[in-house]
Amino acid sequence: MQKWIVMTAAAIALSGCAQVPNYQSAVKTPPPAQLVGNWQTLGPQGGLVSPEATASLIITAKGDTLDCRQWQRVIAKPGKVTRLNERWINVNNQARVMPLEIEGTTLHYDDLILQKVRQPTQECQQALHAQNKEPVTEEQPAEKSDESYPGQESEKPMF
């Protein structure tokens, strides 16, 4: 009986999606031309924290990406496009893996529906410019997030 449980667990584990162990191990791959460009959410999206929030994804011809989310502040995460199990994916510098799926003129990404736009928002352009000026440091995923959200109590002392 125990062998059957172990074999079933192993089969389930092996049948799942392969994981990218870390950001450094993901090989940046030039994406197809239809993925290259500036993508942005239009209107409210369930995958965002607020109906007023906006998400942008900048994809370069070399395979670099910048996932830029803005609402009350801008959070921009660099990443890279690669192939995993015959699918195009974006791996950000926190080793988060998200599929890139084109359907007609829309891009499905991280529970968002994005449309191609001429240029990213000004805030995302500033984040991209700042990222290109600074040396790239590859972050390791933190055990505990330092980000705070409206309504979340801060654990940091005030003094």
pLDDT at position 23 is: 80
Report the DSSP beta bridge partners of residue 76. 68
Amino acid type, 110: D
pLDDT at position 20 is: 65
In order along its 159 residues, the chain shows pLDDT tens digits of 555 444 444 433 333 344 566 788 889 999 999 999 999 999 899 889 999 999 999 999 999 999 999 999 999 999 999 998 899 999 998 889 999 999 999 999 999 999 999 999 999 999 988 888 865 554 444 444 444 444 434 344 333
Q: Within 13 Å and on the Cβ side, how many CA atoms surround 44?
A: 5
Amino acid type, 4: W
Of 120, 90, 69, nearest to 101 (Cα)?
A: 90
Q: Within 13 Å and on the Cβ side, how many CA atoms surround 121?
A: 21
Residues with Cβ within 8 Å of residue 141, at least 6 apart in sequence: 94, 95
Give the separation between CA 55 and CA 66, rounded to whole angstroms. Answer: 10
Contact 59, 36 (CB under 8 A): yes
Contact 92, 63 (CB under 8 A): no
* pTM, two decimal places: 0.71
Compute and round to an integer the Cα radius of gyration of the chain.
18
pLDDT at position 135 is: 58
Of 155, 132, 128, 143, nearest to 94 (Cα)?
A: 143
